[in-house]
Amino acid sequence: MLAGLTVVFAILTWALLQRVYQFIPAVPWTAIPTVLLLALGEAHTGWMTRARIRRKPGTKPVEPLAVARLVALAKASAYGGAVFAGVFAGFAFYAAGLLDQDTPRRDFFIAGGSFLGCVALVCAALYLEHCCRVPEDPDAAPDRRG
């Protein structure tokens, strides 16, 4: 689903840029560190939440409502990251055809870096969502499916 969303937005962005590229401002480089910081924050939150859910020594138990909110954050970040990854991929694909010019070459590298940052955000969001799962009860009856 997320990959499909990325592809659709990449195609839409590429098609839109065919007509409006010369009229829009340059891609801001600030997207790269911003998205990477978001990814780092979500990955760290996932790591800490997982430790709290598993009640590791030195951690406080986590409130169930807080975990539900983190799952909502993770889902929203995954979808938002996929959409923006598609936008930056479309931008990079369009600019790749114009690498002999200075501004499109700059846009290509910034959009490519932003795309990689968005991929990192999606991965961190999926990790956070995974970390919010309730661990299996070791005392529960085994699954009989074989």
pLDDT tens digits for range 13-56: 999 999 999 999 988 999 999 999 999 999 999 999 999 999 89
Q: Is residue 139 part of a domain?
A: no
Q: Please give the tally of structural domains in the chain.
A: 1
Task: Determine what percent of the chain is predicted with pLDDT higher than 90.
Answer: 85
Q: Which long-range contacts (CB under 8 A, 24 or more apart) does 63-70 make?
A: 67/132, 70/45, 70/128, 70/132
Q: Is residue 100 part of a domain?
A: yes
Say what the pLDDT of residue 140 is: 57
Question: Chain-wide mean pLDDT for the chain?
Answer: 93
pTM above 0.75, yes or no: yes
Say what the pLDDT of residue 134 is: 84
**C-alpha triplet 42, 69, 132: angle, nearest 5°:** 60
Q: Is residue 28 part of a domain?
A: no
Q: 111 is in which domain, residue-wise?
A: 1-23+64-134
Say what the pLDDT of residue 143 is: 57
Confidence of residue 139 (pLDDT cuts 50, 70, 90): low
